[in-house]
Amino acid sequence: MKARNKRLILVGSGVALLVAAVALVLSAFQQNLVFFHTPSEVAAGKAPTGKTFRIGGMVEEGSIAREADGLTVRFAITDTAKIIPVTYRGTLPDLFKEGKGAVVQGRLEDGVFRATEVLAKHDENYMPPEAAHAVEQAQKAAQTVSQ
């Protein structure tokens, strides 16, 4: 075999390996991609069904209820326009409180959001930008409806 043919085979193999590696990385990225939705979008049916996504907003006042097992918690997330009921089994973050910002990740099943992860805001002035924008938009919409 000539040196030129060996070089072509080596370059072709390298390109094939590179394409396979890029395809694997893109596949893993697509599987781990999680979209953010507001409670209003979820209520309007714009959230994906059967897929994991995030909902952000405020924890509804008076909505936190703990089950007898001590791990399951029920609460509601709101953007001041719509309210989505949430169930979560696990330990909540220390900063998780009623009336404070939170982002929950999970799936929507039978009208209830089954959270697999709960993220609370960092301090009293912090709210995820998406959640802050959603609350602001919902408040503007509520003001125009009431006028």
122 is in an annotated binding site: yes
- 76: CB partners within 8 A, 6+ apart: 59, 60, 63, 83, 84, 85, 86
> Which CB contacts under 8 angstroms, 24+ apart, belong to 63-67?
63/98, 64/98
**Structure-token pair, residue 109:** 């099943």
Q: What's the gap between Cα 147 and its chain centre?
A: 33
Distances in whole angstroms, Cα of residue 12 to Cα of each of 1, 8, 42: 16, 6, 48
133 is in an annotated binding site: no
Q: Specify the pairing of strand 112-120 against strand 83-89.
A: parallel
Output the known binding site for heme: 122, 126
Binding residues: 122, 126
